[in-house]
Amino acid sequence: MINTIHLCVIKSPYKCTCTVIVSEVQDTVVKKFKAGFGYKKISQALNIPRSTVQAIILKWKEYQTTANLPRPGRPSKLSAHTRRRLIRDAAKRPMITLDELKRCGRLCP
């Protein structure tokens, strides 16, 4: 049984500070729920808020996983292949301009 729970705090320059629950804790919450424990009993046993337990279980019921899911957002304009090629070109010719890249029709070899 886990007596203490370590939470990771992720600081990003673009978002406010958020707390991420470690996946082992999420797995423990789901195991206790499957064993028949309620939200309140699980939250008291693991010393985490009841609302957190509820969110973990609702996510597990919907997606059948406790892994962190990808965040929604705008798709990248560059594919992974194009990004790699751009990095390779910039390493070969550091002084290349954007206009030169555009004139090639695709990223220069």
Cβ contacts of 24 within 8 Å, gap of 6 or more: 2
**pLDDT level of residue 58 (50, 70, 90 thresholds):** very high
Q: Which residue has the higher pLDDT, 6 or 15?
A: 15
d(CA 83, CA 85): 5
pLDDT of residue 3: 45
CATH topology of domain 23-68: Arc Repressor Mutant, subunit A (1.10.10)
Average pLDDT across the chain, whole number: 81
Measured distance CA(36)–CA(38) in Å, rounded: 7
Q: Both tokens of residue 1?
A: 């049984």
Across residues 25-39, what is the average pLDDT? 95
- Least confident piece of the model among 30-39, 58-67, 91-100: 91-100
Kindly report, residue by residue over 79-94, the tens digit of the pLDDT: 888 888 888 888 888 8
Across residues 65-82, what is the average pLDDT? 87
Residue 73 makes CB contacts below 8 A (sequence gap 6+) with none
Q: Residue 44's Cα: distance from chain center in Å?
A: 27
pTM of the predicted model as reported, rounded to 2 decimal places: 0.55
Please tell me the predicted confidence (pLDDT) of residue 21: 74
- Whole-number Å distance between alpha carbons of 72 and 18: 16
Helix (H) or strand (E) holding 82: helix 80-92
| Domain parsing of the chain, residue ranges | 23-68, 77-109
